[in-house]
């Protein structure tokens, strides 16, 4: 049975996930925003803006303190999950970012793009750690 409907995005929702503690939900949309929701009440906690085009992928850090988002504009952004402040922007892909994820220790972020490249980044500074080429995106 349906427990809750989250209403607020003005475009297709492309990615959604729970925070590690299950108290928050983050969603990314074609409306160029990322929203943080209270998982219990369904209330919108805040909207993260700053993309000029569609958001494709979202993920919480393992400790739930940060959110990484990928977009069609070839960049990633890391946000403070508590304040909604942008921590850093990661640029380096030449095509749309398809998927993003934090490492289990939260120190790294991995992204894959339509450019058939996966990149590993420092999640604190945004510095590119390594590039993996020839990746086949599905």
Give the residue among 32, 59, 57 at the shortest CA–CA distance from 47: 32
88 has which bridge partners? 78
pLDDT in tens, 80-98: 999 999 999 999 999 999 9
Q: How far apart are CA 64 and CA 59, in angstroms?
A: 9
Global pTM?
0.91
* Rg of the chain on CA atoms, in Å: 14
Q: How far apart are CA 17 and CA 66, in angstroms?
A: 13
What does the pLDDT read at residue 70?
Answer: 96
Give the residue among 52, 51, 66, 137 at the shortest CA–CA distance from 101: 66
* pLDDT > 90 fraction of the chain, expressed in percent and rounded: 80
């Amino acid at each position: 049975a349906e427990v809750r409907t989250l209403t607020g995005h003005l475009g297709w929702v492309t990615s959604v996930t729970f925070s590690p503690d299950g108290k928050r939900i983050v969603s990314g949309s074609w409306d160029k925003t990322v929203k943080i929701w209270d998982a219990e009440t369904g209330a919108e906690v805040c909207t993260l803006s700053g993309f000029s085009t569609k958001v494709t992928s979202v993920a919480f850090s393992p400790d739930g303190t940060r959110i990484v988002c990928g977009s069609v504009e070839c960049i990633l952004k890391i946000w403070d999950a508590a304040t909604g402040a942008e921590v850093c922007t990661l640029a380096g892909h030449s095509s749309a970012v398809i998927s993003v994820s934090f490492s289990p220790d939260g120190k790294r972020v991995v992204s894959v793009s339509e450019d058939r490249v996966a990149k590993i980044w420092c999640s604190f500074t945004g510095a590119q750690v390594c590039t993996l080429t020839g990746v086949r995106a599905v």
